Amino acid sequence: MMIPVSPGHPIHTLMEEHKALLEFAHELKRISDESMDDFIFDGDDIQHIHHIAEHFKEAEKHYQREENVLFPILEKHGVTQPPKMMWSEHNQIRGLKKELYSLLETGLDKDLEEFQGKLSVLAKGIDDLLSTHFNKENTILFPMALRTFSQSEWSDVEKQFNEIGYCCFSPETVRNTAAEETVSPEAGEATVPTDEILLGTGSFSKEQLEACLNSLPFDLTFIDKDDNVGYFSESGDRVFLRTKAVIGRNVQLCHPEKSVHIVNNILDAFKTGKKNVAEFWIQMNQRTIHIRYFAVRDKAGQYMGTVEVTQDITDLKKIQGEKRLLDWHL
């Protein structure tokens, strides 16, 4: 099915990435099949497979753009089931790729024939899954988005796609949207003063508050009392990607379907006052990530929402002894 979109359009970019990733999957399958047939596996083959694996890792940006930009806007238009299905398949793809990376890290230390057999199964699985998944997106998901989104929404999609980045190639018309949006005031034109935000123990300008929140060594995300995403901080090295398309999105839709019941249990416990904190920690890219959820309540104890705090604590775990103020130096 041909979709009438021009180069540079977000859908055109996604479809071009589909083509490139399928070529890598076909190539991986070809190499593994030939090695099984001929029992030949030389250094060039291994290097080529590692090259393909690097492209698969870079392809995470492709899935993040769909999950964090395309899907939330579809959901705002009432389209929820296709994004859920596509996200579930994304996680299946991630699972197979993770097995491939693990095999490449340790497999060559084992029997070559065993390595070839496992690689062949993985290569076929990745090739088959990408082929069927991309076909669903090209023929169902993308036409649905084209019928649904307004022009202004497509402009927002393009800006947020640019912020996340691309894989496999660079689109023909990636614009510097930040530069486009910067408007210098006319000579002699007075700038509008920033509103002051008064708090119980002091005050901030809006600019100061935003800068403070973004300078904290952890990521913040606020979920309002109706379970919708209301805010996220924009620190320079966020652990988990957030895009402006998720503002207003129901938080249950921000999680894979298999974990939604846990999210609901936490929120229910917060709303009923049974719990005020939930915390977890995971290993990601050899780093320890600490994830905490805190119930936010007003002075009367009424539930106002939940704040998620995510922090890389790998280096904090190494702290020993003391480092006092007088020990500090440039």
Strands, E assignment, the chain? 196-199, 202-205, 219-224, 229-232, 277-284, 287-297, 303-312
Instruction: Express each pLDDT in 291-327 by its tens digit.
Output: 999 999 999 999 999 999 999 999 999 999 988 888 8
The one-character DSSP state at 79 is: -
Pairing assessment for the beta strands 196-199 and 277-284 based on DSSP bridges: unpaired
The two structure tokens encoding residue 108 = 């060559």
Pick from 202, 324, 241: which is nearest to 66 by CA? 241
* Tokens standing for residue 191: 């700038």
The answer regarding whether domain 196-318 maps to CATH 3.30.450.20 reads: yes
Tell the burial category of 18 from Cβ atoms under 10 Å away from its Cβ (0-12, 13-18, 19+). buried
For residue 139, what are the contacts with CB-CB under 8 A and spacing of at least 6? 1
Q: Per residue in 205-243, is it b (16+ CB within 10 Å) or e — as a string?
A: eeeeeeeeeeeeebbbbbbeeebbbeebbeeeebbebbb
What does DSSP assign to residue 145?
Answer: H
Q: Between 35 and 220, whose confidence is greater?
A: 220
CB atoms within 10 A of CB 306: 22
Predicted TM-score (pTM) of this structure: 0.71
190 pLDDT band, cuts 50/70/90, is: very low
Where are the CATH 3.30.450.20 domain residues in the chain? 196-318
**Going edge to edge, which strands form the sheet with 277-284?**
229-232, 219-224, 303-312, 287-297, 277-284
As annotated, the residues of the chain forming the CATH 1.20.120.520 domain(s) are: 10-164
The pLDDT tens digits of the residues spanning 82-113 come to: 999 999 999 999 999 999 999 988 866 667 77
| Under 8 Å between Cβ of 232 and 216 | no
The CATH label, of 1.20.120.520, 3.90.1170.50, 1.10.1660.10, 3.40.50.2000, for the domain at 10-164 is 1.20.120.520
Residue 184 has a pLDDT of: 44
Of 224, 246, 274, residue with least CA distance to 160: 246
User: What pLDDT is attached to residue 81?
Assistant: 92
> Is the CB of residue 289 less than 8 Å from the CB of residue 310?
yes
